[in-house]
Amino acid sequence: MKNIYYYDTILGKIGIAEENDQITNLIFDNEQIEEDTDLKETNIIKKAISQLNEYLGGSRKRFELPLNPAGTEFQRKDWLALQQIPFGKTVSYKDIAEQIGCPKGARAVGLANNRNPIPIFIPCHRVIGADGKLVGYGGGIDKKVKLLELEGILLNK
């Protein structure tokens, strides 16, 4: 059974979902989660919000959580690559495409990032356009800017 619990954060309301002691989703504001999900704060969700609060407070740079995002083989490959981007660094969609063996797949990487069910923990906010522009974020560009600034990344707005 999948469980979810909601928290107020500096980014607004966030829901963290888990199934079988693995984080499966992080949702912003009023995004919808599957209907068969119980509202329950489990131990792994408590651990996840604790680490998220440490990150948002500036004392955590790396998450240590069991993640299990549902997606296609390509998406999961993309999401694994995203987890290798160091705190405080950005890469382009093209960089990720090349890293996962699909050098002409920058658009496909963008689509996979857009479908990332566990943003922040899987840091798709660290991916920017090849020209340095911020080109979309599921939670909204304002959240992407806030996350990048939190990591000390200077942005040309």
Q: Domain extents for the chain?
A: 2-56, 73-150
- pLDDT > 60? residue 21: yes
Quote the pLDDT of residue 99. 95
pLDDT average, residue stretch 48-52: 98
* pLDDT at site 123: 97
Whether residue 124 lies in the annotated active site = yes
CA distances from 101 to 40, 78, 91, 105 (A): 40, 10, 16, 9
Catalytic residue among 91, 124, 127, 128: 124
User: For residue 56, is pLDDT > 80?
Assistant: yes
| Both tokens assigned to 109 | 């990487």
Q: Which residues are CB-contacts of 95 (< 8 A; sequence separation ≥ 6)?
A: none
In CATH, the number for domain 73-150 is 1.10.10.10
Give residue 130's pLDDT band: very low, low, confident or very high (50, 70, 90): confident
- What percent of the chain shows pLDDT beyond 90? 82
pLDDT in tens, 132-156: 888 878 788 899 999 999 999 876 5
pLDDT tens-digit readout, 24-42: 999 998 677 777 889 999 9
* pLDDT mean across residues, the chain: 92
